[in-house]
A and B are shown apart, each in its own frame.
Chain A
C-alpha cells in the first residue's frame, strides 16, 4: 500500500466529505430540536434575564472548573473537574492556538491568526492525553459513571483519543513512519467528524442552549446564575 495515496485521500476528498457530513448532520440536529417548538413563557422574571445569561456564561467559561459554588462537590470529586477542564482547555489550545491546526482553519476560512510556540502547545497536548486517560479510568471505576456509560460513551472517548495520540506522536516523529501516522491521524479525524453528529460530542452546540436557559431560569427565579 502506498501511504502517500492514503494520506492524500484522507486529507483531500475524504476530509471534505467528512466535513460536509459533519456540517449537514449538525444542522439537521439543530433544526430538529428547534423545530420541536418553544412555548412562550408567561412568568414575570424577578431579575434581568439578559444579565442572568451573561453571568451564566462568564461563570461557566472563565472560572470553570474553580467555581466557588461547586466547592462542596469539588472537594468530593475533583478528578472530573480537573481532568475534564484540562482536557477541554487542551483541546482548545491545540485546535485553535496551535500552528498546524490554524493553517487548516486558514485553508478553510481564508484567514489565520497568531499562534502559540510549539513547545507550549506540545505540553498542552501531553497534558490533554494524560487527562483523557484519567477520564477513561474514572469512567471505569466511578459507580455513577459506570451506570451512565454505555458503548456510545466509550466510543466518544476513543474516537477523540486516537487523533489526539497520533497527532502527538507525529509531531515527535516517534515509532512510525511519518506518512503512516499522518494518514492514521487524518483517517481518525475524518471518522470523528462523521461520528460527532451521531453522538453526544455534539454537546458543544447544545451547550449554548442549556447555558442560556440556565441563566434565564435563574434570573427568572431571582437567584444568582
Chain B
C-alpha cells in the first residue's frame, strides 16, 4: 500500500493543468490503439495507449475531480491497489517504447508520449520498475554506464578504436567547441560508429573532444522515469561540458539520450540551456550542406536496395526527418527506397524505452519486430540504415532471432565510408 501511495503521490505532483487538460480531453475513442505497434502485433486491447495511461487518469480523477471522488465513494470506481500498480508496470515497461506514434493519430491531439513518461515516473516512485531495468540503472549509478563502461574500460576501448581504425580521438581537450558523447552501445558493440564519427569530425576540421567524465550519453533513468536518476546522469554530462568549456554537446547515434537532453533536461536542470544540444545526424547534414565534408555521389548505389529506419526519438520526436534523407539522396540516390509508413508516421523498432533491456519482455519485443520485417520485405530491401544504436541493437538481435540476412548499419558509418578525402 505504501508503494501504491507513492505512485499516486507522484502522479498528483506531476498533474498540472498541462496534464489535467489532456486527461480531461480524452474521449475514450480508442483510435490510438491502432497506432501502437504493440497493439498491432498482438491485438491485446490492454496495449492500447490510452489504457496504459488509465492508472494516471484514475489517480487524477480520484484525487482532483468531483465525479471521480463521488464514483470512488459509492464504489463504481475502485481505489488503485498494489496489484494495479504491478499490472500497469508490466503494461508500460514491457509494452511501450514511448515512441509517441499514438500522439500522431489521437483526434484530440493528446501528447500521449509525455503522459506515458509521467506514468513511468509514478511507477518508479513506487519502486515498481522491472528488475532488469533497475539493475541497469543501478549499474549506471555506480559504474557510470549500464553496459559496464567504467572509466578504465572506456579508456582502453577508445585507445583500441583509435589504433584499429587509425583515427584521432581528441580527449579532454579544454577549450574545444564541441563535446561529443558516445553511447556505451557504440563504444562496446558498434565501435565502427565511434571511428566513423571521429573520422567525419576530423575531416571537417571541427574543434571537438570527448570527455572522460562525461563519457556516457545513455540515460537509463529516463527509461525508468525516475527524475533523480535522470538528473544525476544529465548532470554528469553538463559537469563534464562545463569543465572543458565547450559550447555545444553532440549526442551520437542514440535516440532516447537525445530526447532526454534536448527536450527534457532544460526543464530539469537550468544549466542545460547553456549549451546547444544537437544530434550527430544534424551535424553531418550541416557539414555536407556547407561543403565541409564531401560525399561521393552514388557510393552505395550497388548495394541492392537500401532503406532507412526512422528512429522515433530522432525523427518523429527529434525533428531530424529531412536530414538523413538529404544525405542518402547523395550517397545512394538509386538504391535508397522508403518503407511505408515512414518519417513521423514510421513504425518503431520495438526495442526502445528500455524494452530491450528487460528479458521478460523478449517475446513481446520479437512480436513487434515482425511488423518491421513486413515493412522491409515489402520493398525488398537487403540493407537497413538508421540513426540510433538502440534501434540497431534491436535490429541485430532480431537478425539472429529471425535468421534474417539484411545488412544493418548506422548512418554515420555510411557517411564516413562515402567521404572523399
Residues of A within 8 A of B (CB): 29, 32-39, 41-44, 46-47, 56, 60, 64-65, 69-73, 76-77, 80-81, 84, 142-151, 153, 198-200, 202-203, 206-207, 209-211, 213-215, 217, 220-225
A29 and B45 in contact (CB under 8 A), knowing A207-B108, A221-B319? no
B304 at the interface (CB under 8 A from A): no
Minimum Cβ distance to chain B for residue A36 (Å): 5
Contacts of A148 in B (CB 8 A): 28, 30, 48, 50-51
A-B contact sample (9 more), CB < 8 A, given A33-B21, A39-B16: A36-B16, A44-B273, A70-B104, A73-B34, A144-B30, A147-B51, A209-B21, A215-B109, A225-B109
Q: List 15 A-B contacts (CB under 8 A).
A: A32-B65, A33-B24, A39-B18, A43-B266, A44-B266, A46-B319, A73-B34, A81-B31, A210-B25, A211-B108, A211-B109, A213-B109, A213-B111, A214-B109, A214-B110
What residue in chain A is nearest B259 (Cβ atoms)?
A: A221
B165 at the interface (CB under 8 A from A): no
Contacts of A221 in B (CB 8 A): 263, 317-319
Residues of B within 8 A of A (CB): 15-18, 20-22, 24-31, 33-35, 39, 43, 45-46, 48, 50-51, 64-67, 76, 103-111, 114, 262-264, 266-267, 270, 272-273, 316-321, 340-341, 344-345
Contacts of A43 in B (CB 8 A): 262-264, 266-267
Minimum Cβ distance to chain B for residue A193 (Å): 16
Contacts of A38 in B (CB 8 A): 16-18
A41 and B21 in contact (CB under 8 A), knowing A147-B48, A223-B344? no
Minimum Cβ distance to chain A for residue B153 (Å): 33
Contacts of A222 in B (CB 8 A): 318-320
Contacts of B45 in A (CB 8 A): 143-144, 146-147
Contacts of A60 in B (CB 8 A): 107, 109
A37 and B30 contacting across the interface, CB-CB below 8 Å = no
A77 to B29 Cα, complex, angstroms: 12
A36 to B13 Cα, complex, angstroms: 10
A32 to B22 Cα, complex, angstroms: 13
Top-3 shortest CB links A-B:
A222-B319, A214-B109, A209-B21
What residue in chain A is nearest B46 (Cβ atoms)?
A: A147
Q: Using a Cβ cutoff of 8 Å, how many contacts connect chains A and B?
A: 161
Minimum Cβ distance to chain A for residue B118 (Å): 13
Residue of A77, A143, A144, A200 with most chain B CB atoms under a 10 A cut-off: A144
Contacts of A72 in B (CB 8 A): 34-35, 340-341, 345
A56 and B109 contacting across the interface, CB-CB below 8 Å = yes
A142 to B21 Cα, complex, angstroms: 27
A33 and B267 contacting across the interface, CB-CB below 8 Å = no
A64 to B108 Cα, complex, angstroms: 11
A70 to B318 Cα, complex, angstroms: 20
Contacts of B66 in A (CB 8 A): 198
Residue of A44, A72, A81 with most chain B CB atoms under a 10 A cut-off: A72
A34 and B17 in contact (CB under 8 A), knowing A69-B345, A71-B341, A210-B22? yes
Contacts of A145 in B (CB 8 A): 28-30
Contacts of A35 in B (CB 8 A): 17
Minimum Cβ distance to chain A for residue B368 (Å): 15
Contacts of B317 in A (CB 8 A): 221, 223
Contacts of B76 in A (CB 8 A): 150-151
- Give which listed residue, B15, B104, B263, contacts A220 with CB less than 8 A: B263
A144 and B25 contacting across the interface, CB-CB below 8 Å = no
B21 and A213 contacting across the interface, CB-CB below 8 Å = yes
A70 and B105 contacting across the interface, CB-CB below 8 Å = yes
B15 and A69 contacting across the interface, CB-CB below 8 Å = no
Minimum Cβ distance to chain B for residue A50 (Å): 16
A39 to B16 Cα, complex, angstroms: 7
Contacts of B28 in A (CB 8 A): 145, 148-149, 153, 200
B35 and A213 contacting across the interface, CB-CB below 8 Å = no
Contacts of B321 in A (CB 8 A): 223
Contacts of A33 in B (CB 8 A): 17, 20-21, 24
- Give which listed residue, A29, A80, A200, A223, contacts B26 with CB less than 8 A: A200
Contacts of A47 in B (CB 8 A): 319
What residue in chain A is nearest B262 (Cβ atoms)?
A: A43
Contacts of A224 in B (CB 8 A): 344
Contacts of A199 in B (CB 8 A): 67
A37 to B13 Cα, complex, angstroms: 11
Residue of B29, B316, B317 with most chain A CB atoms under a 10 A cut-off: B29
What residue in chain A is nearest B109 (Cβ atoms)?
A: A214
- Give which listed residue, B22, B35, B65, contacts A73 with CB less than 8 A: B35
B25 and A42 contacting across the interface, CB-CB below 8 Å = no
A73 and B105 in contact (CB under 8 A), knowing A44-B266, A143-B45? yes
Contacts of A206 in B (CB 8 A): 21-22, 24-25, 108
A72 to B50 Cα, complex, angstroms: 18
A36 and B266 contacting across the interface, CB-CB below 8 Å = no
A199 to B66 Cα, complex, angstroms: 11
A211 to B108 Cα, complex, angstroms: 6
Minimum Cβ distance to chain A for residue B142 (Å): 30
A76 and B34 in contact (CB under 8 A), knowing A33-B20, A221-B317? yes
A37 and B16 contacting across the interface, CB-CB below 8 Å = yes
Contacts of B320 in A (CB 8 A): 222
Contacts of A214 in B (CB 8 A): 103, 106, 109-111
Contacts of B24 in A (CB 8 A): 29, 33, 200, 202-203, 206, 209
A33 to B20 Cα, complex, angstroms: 6
